[in-house]
Structure 1
Amino acid sequence: MSYGASAYAKVSQVALSPREAEAAVLIKAATRLQAVQSDWANQSAGINEALNFNQKVWTVLAGAATAPESPLPVTVKNEIAQLSIFVFRRSIDTMVEPQAEKLSALININHQLAAGLRG
């Protein structure tokens, strides 16, 4: 029995809150985009993978934040919806006409939102 309690104690110290988990995923997406941007000449295939991952993150984030049952205020829901539209448009634009500098806005948005989630 004490083994189970000990294992639970260790996991509870490592487990992330939902906000921390969202922040961690945003940072992971930003890190992937940054890696592509930093090694642009060698990232012809990596760019679409990094952008697709970022789009998946934003799809989940926007869906959860703007859902009718979300406790967020309507103004925050609207702002997240507008921000996600920008992220999706920038991602598609970057896939169509790849340029390293186009990733900067996506990286910055992810970092800023993650910092806000971490409080």
Structure 2
Amino acid sequence: MHSAAKAYGQVAQQIANPRELEARLLLKAAARLQHVREDWEKDRSDLSDALLYNRKLWTVFLTSVTSPDHALPAAVRQNVANLGLFVMNQTIEMVREPRPEALAPLININREIAAGLLGQP
């Protein structure tokens, strides 16, 4: 987890807007998962790394939103935490029983949150 937090911190220094940083990281995770899904029949060697990257990213989000001094309203923090728990459970399920269709919710959640952070409909 330290490497994900470190990478997050390094990129944060390069990008002035934290929301944009979070969106870019979510889109990167979604793209990695989508690549695995598209190449499922030929090569899924990247599955473990893509899931790990996504899990580390969501671990950082979960740690952040569950901090008592986080600036978001409690209801929003709770929603993000619930999504994070779903992502973690879905990831565990993917490790137990890998199925390409099970990647769709992870990809969609990341893309939807990123769109919201970027102010897109």
Give the fraction of aligned pairs with identical amino acids, expressed as a percent: 43
Q: Deviations over 1:19-72 (max 9, x none)?
A: 000000000000000000000023332111100000001011121122111111
| 1:66/1:80 contact within 8 Å kept | no
Structure 1 length normalisation: TM-score? 0.84
Runs of 4+ displaced beyond 6 Å:
none
Distance (whole Å) between structure 2 residues aligned to residue 115 and residue 44 of structure 1: 27
List alignment gaps of at least 5 residues for structure 2. Answer: 1-13
List alignment gaps of at least 5 residues for structure 1. Answer: 1-13
Greater CA drift, 83-92 or 62-71: 62-71
Structure 2 length normalisation: TM-score? 0.83
Task: After TM superposition, list the pairs within 5 Å mapping 1:95-106 onto structure 2.
Answer: 95-106=95-106
- Higher helix residue share: 1
Query: Structure 1 residues 116, 48: CA separation in 2 closer, same or farther (over 3 Å shift)?
Result: same
Task: After TM superposition, list the pairs within 5 Å mapping 1:14-25 onto structure 2.
Answer: 15-25=15-25
Number of equivalences: 106
Task: After TM superposition, list the pairs within 5 Å mapping 1:34-73 onto structure 2.
Answer: 34-73=34-73
